[in-house]
A and B are shown apart, each in its own frame.
Chain A
Amino acid sequence: MSDNPTANHDAHFIQVEKFNYAYGDHQVLFDVDLDLHREDITALIGPSGCGKSTLLRSINRINDLVEIARVVSGSIKIDGVNLYSPEVDVISLRRNVGMVFQKYNPFPRSIFENAVYGLRVAGIKDKWELEEAAERSLRIAALWDEVKDRLHTNATSLSGGQQQRLCIARAVALKPRILLMDEPCAALDPIATARIEDLIAQLRGQFTFVIVTHNMEQAKRIADKTAFIYKGKVIECADTMEIFGNPKNKLTESYITGRLT
């Protein structure tokens, strides 16, 4: 992947084209077309099992871990490079595309070790560099002030919201350009949810966000663009205000008004 800083900000940064994806014989994504812009926050909404998580997990190819998962046809491109072409190095792709999962899941190690996990596996051993990266990423995740005095205590001693912010810190430590979030607040209480949303709002512009959410209020609050996915197809993708204020498609309208199950 090219790291070209002169790339046009309005260019199609993440481009999903005619993307068909299947688990074995069970196809879950049908001809998905999406254009996600650099530095935008895009929300993927839709009912459970509609394929939005699969789409998200295809962007960093973490779904490759699912043995029977396969791309049927089509492509996902970042900066014009097809992620599924054979010359793409999955490891460096994943370093450039961070991911935060639904259930906060820090490793049962120290907070520090969690924060620098990505750097450690990247082979960085320099103590000073690791410490600096830990502080930087914990500051980005708005967690530094809460944990700076106990960096070496076990991460599982943190509260749920703190653990999820630690997961965000862990993901941003590698300075990715894209952050994928799979229902990042689904396991959190409203206060912790609000803090995560604030954090995402603060980070707007630093990363390109793709966020899967079931919470439509959340999508409304934080997303620039929203894509509604239903039964493996993108029904509508537009500015968030457009989707929630003036949906073009009947299905979208019935989903956002809670009449679609």
Chain B
Amino acid sequence: MIPTPIHPKLDPANPFVGHQSRNQIRESFVRWILRIGTLIIVSVTAAIILHIAAKGAPVALSREWPFVNVAFLTELPSTLHVIQDHQGHIIETDVNGADAIKMQLGANLREEKTISYSGGGILGPIVGTAMLVIVSVGVALLLGVASAIYLSEYASHGKFIEMVRLAILNLAGVPSVVFGLFGLGAFVLTAPVFTNTPLDRAIFTIPLGFTTLSFQGWDTCVLSGGFTLAFVILPVIITASEQCLQAVPLEFRETSMALGATRWQTIWRAVLPFATPGILTSSILGIARAAGETAPIMFTAALAFKDKLPWQKDLVALPADASWFAHWEQSIQRFLAIFTESVQALPYHIYTLAARIPQNEYSERAQYGSVFVFLILVASLAATSIWMRRRLRAKYKW
């Protein structure tokens, strides 16, 4: 007997022809909802990037060799002077050039505008962000990997460890401005320094004979900002590192221990090498995060404006016959100044340009140029992380 077709009007010879069932309609409906959601995200991302590229690329790049705006990348920020004459010529210059041009124009000067922070380049913020990232990622990797190893390899499973994990996860949810205030209190105002002349504001001092350990804080500097940022990215690094350690097969540990290795030897030789690709990747994501944060460095490291690079600290000029030791001491001081001076940073510079000064075409130009460079930096970090992970994965696959 031929079974009765579900839709009698359709070709009875082919039982598989039919209208879409309700399930099929629902299926394609869900698929389209999900597809549209994804498309919205992709198009918003594309719009952001295109917008920034369209406005920022003309500032940061140039049409002629070497195809980048060298001055924009190698000069420190300065106040931009825009001078207009009665014929409508517009001259952009810095504070030094302004006087000469005004003198030359004489009565022809129509108006002079000054726009803060929008002249020169952004070398200061780039260097500052790089220093902050180096310090914060260094500190966060040391602390983060250590605690991830402890949590993953040593700690026994129990209530306490669960609480610790929960606390770390919660740390990830703390608003970054809170970290900024924490950094202000902990590192800027309280952290210990060795000094012969403790400040009055020191919370307490420990005399050590040859010097004094004074809890007077590190001041606003790269070190304070770097440590604060380290705590911002610690949860990311701990969680990711722990996952990478857990991903190393248990058999490696068992084999290693069965061959007479201690627990630390096992971790060092049979676990960490294979977890490193993932840990590095996560740390690079941490770099992108640290580079992008504004709030934690506002009170701890960043200045809106600084006309010196960290190592261009004012030092007493040495006499011509100074000993090599004095020179050596000064270069050490210069090197340390990298960590003990406050800096400009890209996100804070962008914030200053976009929100703290009157807006006009010149400030907008500087702002988009900075954002574009920032975006390129972060994108290249992400690309590096992917490349590194691929290389290490190929080397250590199991």
Report whether B397 and A108 are in contact in the complex, using a CB–CB cutoff of 8 Å.
yes
In whole angstroms, what is the CA distance A107 to B260 when docked? 15
| Among B142-150, B245-253, B364-372, the stretch in contact with A | B245-253
Q: Which residues of A contact B259 (CB under 8 A)?
A: 94-95, 98, 117-118, 121, 170-171, 174
A62 contacts B by Cβ under 8 Å: yes
Interface members, chain B 11-58 (any A CB < 8 Å): none
B78 contacts A by Cβ under 8 Å: no
Q: A105-B251, A121-B256 given as contacts; is B397 within 8 A of A156 (CB)?
A: yes
A140 vs chain B, min Cβ distance (A): 15
Interface members, chain B 231-278 (any A CB < 8 Å): 249, 251-262, 265, 269-270, 274
Q: Which residues of B contact A107 (CB under 8 A)?
A: 252, 255, 270
Report whether B269 and A117 are in contact in the complex, using a CB–CB cutoff of 8 Å.
yes
Consensus secondary structure, chain B interface = helix
Q: Which of A92, A101, A107 has the most CB of B within 10 A?
A: A107
Interface members, chain A 121-170 (any B CB < 8 Å): 121-122, 156, 167, 170
Q: Which residues of B contact A65 (CB under 8 A)?
A: 253-254, 257
In whole angstroms, what is the CA distance A94 to B269 when docked? 17
A120 contacts B by Cβ under 8 Å: yes
Contact among B253, B260, B269, B397 for A92, CB-based, below 8 A:
B260
Report whether A101 and B260 are in contact in the complex, using a CB–CB cutoff of 8 Å.
no
Report whether B260 and A156 are in contact in the complex, using a CB–CB cutoff of 8 Å.
no
Residue of chain B at shortest CB distance from A95: B260
Residue of chain B at shortest CB distance from A91: B260
Report whether B252 and A60 are in contact in the complex, using a CB–CB cutoff of 8 Å.
no
Contact among A95, A101, A120, A174 for B255, CB-based, below 8 A:
A101
Report whether A108 and B398 are in contact in the complex, using a CB–CB cutoff of 8 Å.
yes
Report whether B265 and A101 are in contact in the complex, using a CB–CB cutoff of 8 Å.
no
Interface members, chain A 91-124 (any B CB < 8 Å): 91-92, 94-95, 98-99, 101, 103, 105, 107-108, 117-118, 120-122
Report whether B249 and A105 are in contact in the complex, using a CB–CB cutoff of 8 Å.
yes
B323 contacts A by Cβ under 8 Å: no
Q: Which residues of A contact B261 (CB under 8 A)?
A: 91, 117-118, 121
In whole angstroms, what is the CA distance A101 to B251 when docked? 8
Q: Which residues of B contact A167 (CB under 8 A)?
A: 255
Q: Which residues of B contact A92 (CB under 8 A)?
A: 260
In whole angstroms, what is the CA distance A98 to B256 when docked? 11
A–B complex contacts, Cβ < 8 Å, 7 sampled: A62-B254, A65-B257, A101-B254, A103-B251, A105-B251, A118-B260, A156-B398
| A residues apposed to B, CB below 8 Å | 60, 62, 65, 67, 91-92, 94-95, 98-99, 101, 103, 105, 107-108, 117-118, 120-122, 156, 167, 170-171, 174
